[in-house]
Amino acid sequence: MKNSSRRGFMGKAFGAVAGVGAIGSLYAMKKSWDPLPSVKAAGFTTLDMSAYAENELVTEKWRGKPIFVLKLTADMLKAMKSKKNDMDRLIKVDGSYYMVTIGLCTHLGCIPGYRPETEDFLCACHGGMYDASGDVTKAPPPRGLDIPPFKIDGTKLVLGEEGSEYKAMKENGITL
């Protein structure tokens, strides 16, 4: 600093101020692109689980995405008992077992269709298949249908909130 001219000092001072300003503006720009509070606040959906019929797929909506809700029959559960991974994917509410997943194929995001007679899902886009627990049975999907964050609240299920059951699923790698 001692040897630099006053002009050089002015240049450095301007550079420092402008640099701080540039970082500040970038931060503001980044934050302006964030989802709005109103968008985030609308990110919760409450489902009354007693209203669903067995082996009948209902598509709900959460954060603009389709949510598959499937109440499993006793026969389906019996068939699934041998597959631990499948059982872990189910959500138990008030004594009944439900499959609740985001209804978007984990391959490229198409919506798979449910076939009640074969009790599985088929994605028409690239032929991926899932069983009644949402676990993948035929590629190309890299993993089973994702499970949305949920919290069990009596006979209700709140989507968008992370309850202890959901956290356990996440830790065990059942869902992402």
Applying CB under 8 A, the residues found at the interface with another protein are 30, 33-36, 39, 43, 59, 61, 63-66, 107-111, 124-127, 140, 142, 176
Name the minimum Å distance from CB 103 to another protein: 8
CA nearest neighbour of 45 among 59, 35, 56, 32: 59
CB nearer to another protein: pick between 134 and 149 = 149
Min CB(86)–another protein separation in Å: 23
Q: Which is nearer to another protein, 64 or 95 (CB)?
A: 64
**Least distance in Å: CB of 128 to another protein?**
12
Please report how close the Cβ of residue 63 comes to another protein at its closest, in angstroms: 4
